[in-house]
Structure 1
């Protein structure tokens, strides 16, 4: 059996319970570091997703691997400071899904530059960004809700 086919599609209402489960997994939250203040707060999650889904400048996609919902990816932010984000369910880490999803997203959203940030010790996310052509353009140290402490962050740009 070969690698899974990774595709993107529009986010559906039925994806949201899965996204909430994925994005409130304690190990995933710790790795991501810069997360919602309380990832378990479903009402805050729903309000956030309603707000970003209503914003026409935000590009959101559901990530599928062989037709199974495995995460989400998107582009958001004001012109000149557009950010990419992605979240893959921990059960699917290490299979190349995040890289494939980000590559598909970058092909669908041709605007540049795009920016991203990752906790400096999140080696998986750092590798995904580098594989997709992002380069480190800065470093920062910010409070990470998921860790309850200041955390080193790498800042990336794709020109």
Structure 2
């Protein structure tokens, strides 16, 4: 696994990953219409054009496996990640989060995780994140209000 700068061609893979209904349910906070490439491109242009946001592609065996993002740098930095379901359960997301935490040392760092997303909670807990609160937000992917855990490192 390696983290690298995002290349323009990576966006096609990120968009493809976003089409997975099961991954959208697990993430809970997917766009209202994951098939809308215009909304996707706009969202990613905001991330990539923001100098206060760090975005990295997760690459495994030469293939785009997902992305890790730290946004809100300078205010309240927030970690998020998305890995293609093809790579779940292989330790790739864990390795990517470890690599990002090594290069991004600003603390505190928070992450928001659906309360039923045990896999993401395990990754974060094992890296030292702890639950500091919870919030309820409407999930487009689930069409219901979802409890989100606010987790923090440092």
Superposed pair shares fold, TM > 0.5: yes
CA distance in 2, matches of 1:121, 1:24: 21
Q: Unaligned stretches of 5+ in structure 2?
A: none
Deviation (angstroms), 1:78: 4.8
Q: Note the alpha carbon deviations across 1:26-50, whole angstroms, 9 max, x for none.
A: 1100110012222111110011111
Residue 58 of structure 2: aligned partner:
63
Q: Note the alpha carbon deviations across 1:61-81, whole angstroms, 9 max, x for none.
A: 000122221000010015231
Q: How large is the RMSD of aligned CA atoms in angstroms? A: 1.0
CA distance in 2, matches of 1:77, 1:40: 26
Pairing 1:127-138 to 2, within 5 Å after superposition: 127-138=122-133
Q: Does 1:157 align with 2:152?
A: yes
Deviation (angstroms), 1:142: 1.2
Deviation (angstroms), 1:137: 0.7
Deviation (angstroms), 1:58: 0.5
CA distance in 2, matches of 1:20, 1:139: 29
Q: Which has the larger displacement, 69-78 or 84-93?
A: 69-78
Q: Does 1:94 align with 2:116?
A: no
| Preserved CA contact (<8 Å) 2:53 2:73 | no
Runs of 4 or more consecutive aligned structure 1 residues displaced over 4 Å after TM superposition:
none
CA distance in 2, matches of 1:68, 1:75: 22
TM-score relative to the length of structure 2: 0.96
Residue 7 of structure 1: aligned partner:
2
CA distance in 2, matches of 1:83, 1:35: 17
Q: Unaligned stretches of 5+ in structure 1?
A: 1-5
Aligned pairs, number: 154
